[in-house]
Amino acid sequence: MRATPLPEFMLEPAFDPAGSSRDAIGASAVAAQGLNIRHGTILTLEEINVSFDGFKALTDLCLYIGVGELRCIIGPNGAGKTTMMDVITGKTRPDSGVAYFGETLDLTRMSEVEIAQAGIGRKFQKPTVFEALSVFENLELAQKTSKTVWASLRAKLSGEQKDRIDEVLQTIKLDASRQRPAGLLSHGQKQFLEIGMLLVQDPQLLLLDEPVAGMTDAETEFTAELFKSLARKHSLMVVEHDMGFVGSIADHVTVLHQGSVLAEGSLAQVQANERVIEVYLGR
């Protein structure tokens, strides 16, 4: 049950070396990392079941994210949104079901670290940054590079890496507080810092759990623009309650309800769906 036929451009490997340097997130390494996305699907979830002591958090969940797609996930509380992200990032093991990243990587058999290294980045519901470290150091740690013990013992930032961090600092507007400990940032700033950390981490699939909670309208608008610029080169999955925000970014929306997909389509289609109105949007 593929949701919708994918647009033409998504079938091409999303790799564009020429235009990369000016993009907010730099070169996407999809092809470089050898992730097999031949069929244009970056994430495949089929028949996922998760239960906690008899409570079924996810029931036969099926979901596909296309390469370069920006997908919004909405649904009432307890619909299983965060559990789904836990399954994708390896934090929770499904009782049954199939979860593939690209065509070949079986997420149910990979550890959290392996999944992160394979190219899935996650932003938590509650912003979590390394509070004792400065903003700059947060980004330095998140930056895409070898992350073994040995490498970090010898690590020295190259000029290129520094420039990249500076660039992201400007993008997330934290340039002025680069030396401040991250723990002293405001809630919204922490949200941006975490987004920034995702940017330097340069994953192919970004999972964003309520990214604009606690942001002002201007910030929300800015985030929407940022996400839109990220799509196509990267795949994004955004969980959000703010329907205005969803409307401004999403070309494709999935509604979760009681652990499975209730409806899928454009925002307008979903909003017109009787059952969605009944369980979620209200009249």
Partner 1 sequence: MSLPISITVAQKAGPKLTATALGVVLTVLVALPLLHLLPADSAMYVSAYTLTLIGKILCYCIVALALDLVWGYAGLLSLGHGLFFALGGYAMGMYLIRQSAGDGLPAFMSFLAWTELPWYWYGTSSFLWAMCLVVLAPGLLALVFGFFAFRSRIKGVYFSIMTQALTFAGMLLFFRNETGFGGNNGFTGFTRILGFDITAAGTRAVLFLATVALLVGSLYLGFKLARSKFGRVLTALRDAENRLMFCGYDPRGYKLFIWVLSAVLCGLAGALYVPQVGIINPSEMSPTNSIEAAVWVALGGRGSLIGPLLGAGLVNGMKSWFTVAFPEYWLFALGFLFIVVTLFLPKGVIGLLRRKSS
Partner 2 sequence: MPTAVCRFFLFLILLLPLASHAGDAADFAAASPAKQAKLLESWAAAPDAARLPLLEALQQGRVAADSDKTPFIENAGRYQAVEGAAEPVGSPRKLRLNNRLRGLIASAMASHQLLADDPAVRLAAARHLQKSAKPAQLGLLDARVASEENQQVRDALSLALANLQLVDSNPAVRLAAVRLLGETGDPLARTRLETLLDPAVENDAGVRTAAETSLAQVKRKLLIGELLGQAFSGLSLGSILLLAALGLAITFGLLGVINMAHGEMLMLGAYSTYMVQIAFQKLAPDYLALYPLAALPVAFFVTAGVGMALERTVIRHLYGRPLETLLATWGISLILIQLVRVLFGAQNVEVANPYWLSGGIQVLPNLVLPYNRIVIIGFALFVVVLTWLLLNKTRLGLNVRAVTQNRNMAACCGVPTGRVDMLAFGLGSGIAGLGGVALSQIGNVGPDLGQSYIIDSFLVVVLGGVGQLAGSVLAAFGLGIANKILEPQIGAVLGKILILALIILFIQKRPQGLFALKGRVID
Amino acid identity, position 102: G
Please state, as a whole number, how many other Cβ atoms lie within 10 Å of the Cβ of residue 5. 9
Residue 28 CB neighbour total at 10 angstroms: 26
Report if residue 45 touches partner 2, rule: CB under 8 A.
no
- The footprint of partner 1 (CB under 8 A) covers 89, 91, 111-113, 116-117, 121-122, 124, 128-134, 137, 140-142, 144, 147-149, 152-153, 155, 179, 181, 183, 197, 201
User: Which does residue 92 bind out of partner 2, partner 1, none, counting CB within 5 to 8 angstroms by kind?
Assistant: partner 2
Amino acid at 176: A
Q: Which does 52 bind (CB under 5 to 8 A by kind): partner 1, partner 2, none?
A: partner 2
Say if residues 266 and 253 touch (Cβ distance below 8 Å): yes
Work out what residue 274 binds among partner 2, partner 1, none; the CB cut-off runs from 5 to 8 Å by kind: none
Contacts to partner 2 from residues 148-177, by CB under 8 A: none
Q: With CB under 8 A as the contact rule, which of the stretches 123-131, 165-173, 192-200, 219-227 interacts with partner 2?
A: 123-131
Residue 40 vs residues 3, 13, 117: alpha-carbon distances, Å: 13, 8, 21
Three-state DSSP class for 97? strand
**Alpha-carbon separation of residue 112 from 78, 92, 159 (angstroms):** 23, 9, 30
The single-letter DSSP state of residue 281 is I
Residue 121 CB, nearest approach to partner 1 (Å): 7
The residues that touch partner 2, with contacts defined as CB under 8 A, are 52-53, 57, 82-83, 86, 91-92, 124-126, 128
